[in-house]
């Protein structure tokens, strides 16, 4: 779609675009190009000399067992966050769509975690599950279950998944509720007249009509788990124990900032950029087709 009526000026449009383009060039394109450039370089231990090494940083990366492990951790983590966040949100949205009384109150009480910073969400849950003082830890001990995420990898993973999904449920909930409310009542009524009960109506009518929303949320949640959960990880497990919660973004940060491995970290950045590009393309191809069921 284009405007038929336009204004004419030789300089004004450029002046209006200038601030956005300037910020984009200085803080997006220039650093991204540098990440690409560094990824082909090897720096000596004192940061004095750099040497062009071609693709060897990438080759080293994919030979590195830690990096491949981090890929697996990221895949598991994002799958758990996306699936649990979506499933819980869908359940709550279906229930909220049913109730007449108190619908707004429920909505208000369910959406506020969206406003909590990932790092703060991490701290909140880390306190509940803290090995010595945590209240949930205490309850689990009483039930005969030994909980210590500082030492056990799978429990640390569970902790960061809970903290990340908890924050994301509110977001998914709002989109599912909007999706449910846009389903024509006549379809549900027709199914009811044909004798379909609530459960059958949900699986044969409602859920298929929600599939575009579900797919959209799947992509958004995976992107969230990949990038926005940095705060959750850094505020709780910091990738540990023994790398069992070290997602890719955390490794870029750790290798680049803490371990000062410029070439390796930049090569990881380039790999991550390719992943974001792939996810964005998936998302936009889906948006094009959104109208068809």
Partner 1 sequence: MVENRPWLTVLSHAVLLAGVALVAFPLYITFVASTLTHEEILQVPMPLMPGGHLWENYAQVLTAGSHAGAAAPVGRMMLNSLVMAVAIAVGKIAISVIASFAIVYFRFPLRNFFFWMIFVTLMLPVEVRIIPTFKVVADLGMLNSYVGLTLPLIASATATFLFRQFFLTIPEELAEAARIDGAGPLRFFRDVVLPLSKTSMAALFVIQFIYGWNQYLWPLLVTTQESMYTAVIGIKRMITGGDALTEWNLVMATAMLALLPPAAVVVLMQRWFVKGLVETEK
Among 183, 227, 243, 286, binds partner 1 (CB under 8 A): 227
- The tokens of 20 are what? 């956005």
Tell me the HSE value of 77 on the side-chain side, using a 13 A CA sphere: 35
Q: Which of residues 79-98 bind partner 1 (CB under 8 A)?
A: 88, 91-92, 95-96, 98
Rounded CA-CA distance 286/270 in Å is 25
Among 83, 140, 174, 205, binds partner 1 (CB under 8 A): 174
Residue 212 makes contact with partner 1 by CB under 8 A: no
Residue 124 makes contact with partner 1 by CB under 8 A: yes
Residue 158 makes contact with partner 1 by CB under 8 A: no
Q: What's the burial of 182, exposed, middle or buried (CB within 10 Å: 0-12/13-18/19+)?
A: exposed
Rounded CA-CA distance 71/222 in Å is 13
Of the two residues 13 and 208, which places its CB atom closer to partner 1 in the complex?
Answer: 13
Of the two residues 157 and 262, which places its CB atom closer to partner 1 in the complex?
Answer: 262
Among 72, 108, 143, 195, binds partner 1 (CB under 8 A): 108
Q: Which of residues 16-45 bind partner 1 (CB under 8 A)?
A: 16-17, 19-21, 23-24, 26-32, 34-35, 38
Rounded CA-CA distance 64/88 in Å is 37
Q: How far is the CB of 217 from partner 1 (least distance, A)?
A: 10
With residue 67 as reference, give the H or E element that holds it: helix 65-98
Residue 280 makes contact with partner 1 by CB under 8 A: yes
Residue 75 makes contact with partner 1 by CB under 8 A: no
Residue 151 makes contact with partner 1 by CB under 8 A: no
Q: What's the burial of 86, exposed, middle or buried (CB within 10 Å: 0-12/13-18/19+)?
A: buried
Q: How far is the CB of 286 from partner 1 (least distance, A)?
A: 12
Residue 259 makes contact with partner 1 by CB under 8 A: no
Residue 292 makes contact with partner 1 by CB under 8 A: no
Rounded CA-CA distance 278/275 in Å is 5
φ, ψ of residue 88 to 5 degrees: the values are: -65, -45
Residue 266 makes contact with partner 1 by CB under 8 A: yes
CB neighbourhood size of 130 (10 A): 17
Q: How far is the CB of 79 from partner 1 (least distance, A)?
A: 19
Q: Which residues contact 246 (CB under 8 A, 6 or more apart)?
A: 66, 69, 70, 73, 233, 239, 240, 254
Q: How far is the CB of 114 from partner 1 (least distance, A)?
A: 6
Of the two residues 83 and 271, which places its CB atom closer to partner 1 in the complex?
Answer: 271
Residue 272 makes contact with partner 1 by CB under 8 A: yes
Among 171, 176, 218, 251, binds partner 1 (CB under 8 A): 171
Q: Which residues contact 28 (CB under 8 A, 6 or more apart)?
A: none
Rounded CA-CA distance 213/174 in Å is 11
- The tokens of 58 are what? 């990438």
Q: How far is the CB of 66 from partner 1 (least distance, A)?
A: 18
* Closest residue by Cα to residue 93 from 216, 224, 213, 189: 213
Q: Which of residues 177-196 bind partner 1 (CB under 8 A)?
A: 178, 185, 188-189, 192
């Amino acid at each position: 779609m284009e405007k038929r009526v336009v204004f004419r000026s030789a300089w004004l449009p450029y002046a209006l675009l200038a601030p956005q383009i300037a910020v984009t060039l200085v803080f997006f394109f220039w650093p991204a190009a540098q990440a690409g450039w560094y990824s082909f370089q090897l720096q000596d231990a004192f940061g004095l000399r750099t040497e062009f090494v071609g693709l060897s940083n990438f080759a080293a990366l994919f030979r590195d067992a830690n990096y491949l492990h981090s890929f697996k951790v990221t895949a598991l983590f994002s799958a758990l966050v996306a699936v649990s966040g979506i499933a819980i949100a869908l359940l709550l949205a279906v229930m909220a769509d049913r109730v007449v009384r108190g619908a707004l109150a429920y909505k208000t009480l369910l959406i506020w975690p969206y406003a909590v910073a990932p790092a703060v969400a991490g701290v909140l849950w880390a306190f509940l599950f803290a090995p010595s003082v945590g209240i949930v830890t205490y309850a689990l001990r009483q039930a005969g279950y030994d909980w210590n995420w500082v030492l056990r990898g799978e429990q640390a993973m569970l902790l960061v998944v809970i903290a990340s999904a908890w924050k994301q449920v509110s977001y998914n909930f709002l989109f599912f509720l909007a999706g449910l409310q846009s389903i024509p009542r006549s379809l549900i009524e027709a199914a009811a007249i044909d004798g379909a009960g609530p459960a059958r109506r949900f699986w044969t009518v409602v859920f298929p009509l929600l599939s575009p929303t579900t797919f959209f949320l799947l992509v958004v949640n995976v992107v969230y788990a990949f990038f926005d959960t940095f705060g959750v990880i850094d505020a709780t497990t910091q990738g540990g124990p023994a790398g069992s919660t070290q997602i890719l973004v955390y490794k870029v940060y750790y290798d680049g900032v803490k371990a000062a491995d410029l070439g390796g970290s930049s090569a990881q950045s380039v790999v991550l950029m390719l992943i974001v590009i792939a996810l964005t393309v998936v998302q936009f191809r889906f948006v094009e087709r959104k109208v068809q069921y």
